[in-house]
Amino acid sequence: MDSEGNTRREPGTEPSGNARRRRRRWPWVVGGLVALGLLGLAVVSVVLLFALGAAGGTAGGTSPVVYEEEYVSGEGPDKVAVIPVQGTIASADNSLGGIQPTVTPEGLADALGQAADDTSVRAVVLEVNSPGGGVTASDEMHQSIVDFKENTNKPVVVSMGDSAASGGYYISAPADRIVANETTLTGSLGVVLPLLNYSEAGEKYGVTQNYVTSGEFKTIGSPWKDLTPEEREIFQTYVDQSYDEFVDVISSGRGIPEDRVREIADGRIYSGETARELGLVDSFGGLDEAAAEARELAKSGQATVVRYIQTPTFTDALLSGLAGRPSEAERLMQESGLDLESKPYYLYLPGA
């Protein structure tokens, strides 16, 4: 104690205020540096993923894609390339890059390009198992097939699976031969334009939608109101134009008079057996029979049959994981067709 009676502290026994503040601050400094490092790694990883995805496939359809070849049958030096077209026809989602499915216009164009460039490929078999899809996507795929035939003189044969309806038939029409199973579901030749209407539900729950527009028909097709006769006529004209294109594709591809096509293209479905009677398919069988037709047309009886397959890379798997999975509600809407945009489809849609 000093002479005043106060307790005296030895020098160095208590840290200064600045020292205490430094001790409290350093964990935050270290934590901030770690966080910045992790953020930097995340940014670099995302950039690399997108770069690798673009390099490994088509980004916008500008880079060539090499599909792997899976052996099917045969042992000759020539090849028949089988290109699967399975699922709903739609434009590719290029937001994540990578190899596109051959049920998209971009993917099919890439696969046909590979078959065109490969001099050992003498013919192509399209393995179609699709209910159709978007009008524009179907038309782009149809045009790719027409262009392939004109530019390469290589025959194209279609092998129909469980279904090849609507847009699935649209892309099949220009083939040199169409082979189907007797039980294949085909037909549904026509156009559907789905328009949701929940104006009644809105009235029930007191929900309304107001618009400020520049023209009388700017809100045409709004789900918040019923169609007027004038609006319905506009939509019908739009649908009829797409239908006329469908009729022309069938007539020119199958050599059936236009009037006859309009008689059978009323939207109804057909079995493979009925389709053959109507001249929509040529013969019955599966992939083996379709490949035999392709060999015959190409005059290459011993050609090896290979299937183009899309093998996901590690990058594709990571990109797919980033995309996430649809929720249960989204899945139900997809299965019921409620997620369809208000645009025309060449699509077999039960209950439409």
Q: Is the pLDDT of residue 284 over 70?
A: yes
pLDDT at 79 over 90: yes
For residue 166, indicate whether it is catalytic: yes
Q: Which option is the CATH number for 57-347: 1.20.120.350, 1.20.1250.20, 3.90.226.10, 1.10.3130.10?
A: 3.90.226.10
What are 161-203's pLDDT values in tens digits? 999 999 999 999 999 999 999 999 999 999 999 988 877 787 7
**Considering only 120-129, 154-163, 286-295, 329-338, which range has the smallest mean pLDDT?**
329-338
Q: Mean pLDDT of all residues in the chain?
A: 83
pLDDT at 199: 77
pLDDT at 138 exceeding the cut of 90: yes
| Boundaries of every domain in the chain | 57-347
Catalytic pick among 144, 159, 166, 242 = 166
Catalytic site includes residue 154:
no
pLDDT at 285 over 90: yes
The pLDDT of residue 229 is above 60: yes
* Choice between 303 and 349, residue whose per-residue pLDDT is larger: 303
pTM: predicted TM-score of the whole model, two decimal places: 0.78
What is the SS3 assignment for the chain?
A: CCCCCCCCCCCCCCCCHHHHHHHHHHHHHHHHHHHHHHHHHHHHHHHHHHHHHHHHCCCCCCCCCCCEEEEEECCCCCEEEEEEEECCECCCCHHHCCCCCCCCHHHHHHHHHHHHHCCCEEEEEEEEEECEEEHHHHHHHHHHHHHHHHHHCCCEEEEEEEEEECHHHHCCCCCCEEEECCCCEEECCCCECCCCCCHHHHHHHCCCCCCCCCCCCCCCCCCCCCCCHHHHHHHHHHHHHHHHHHHHHHHHHHCCCHHHHHHHCCCCEEEHHHHHHCCCCCEECCHHHHHHHHHHHHCCCCCEEEEEECCCCHHHHHHHHHHCCCCHHHHHHHHHCCCCCCCCEEECCCCC
Q: Which of 73, 218, 320, 342 is catalytic?
A: 218
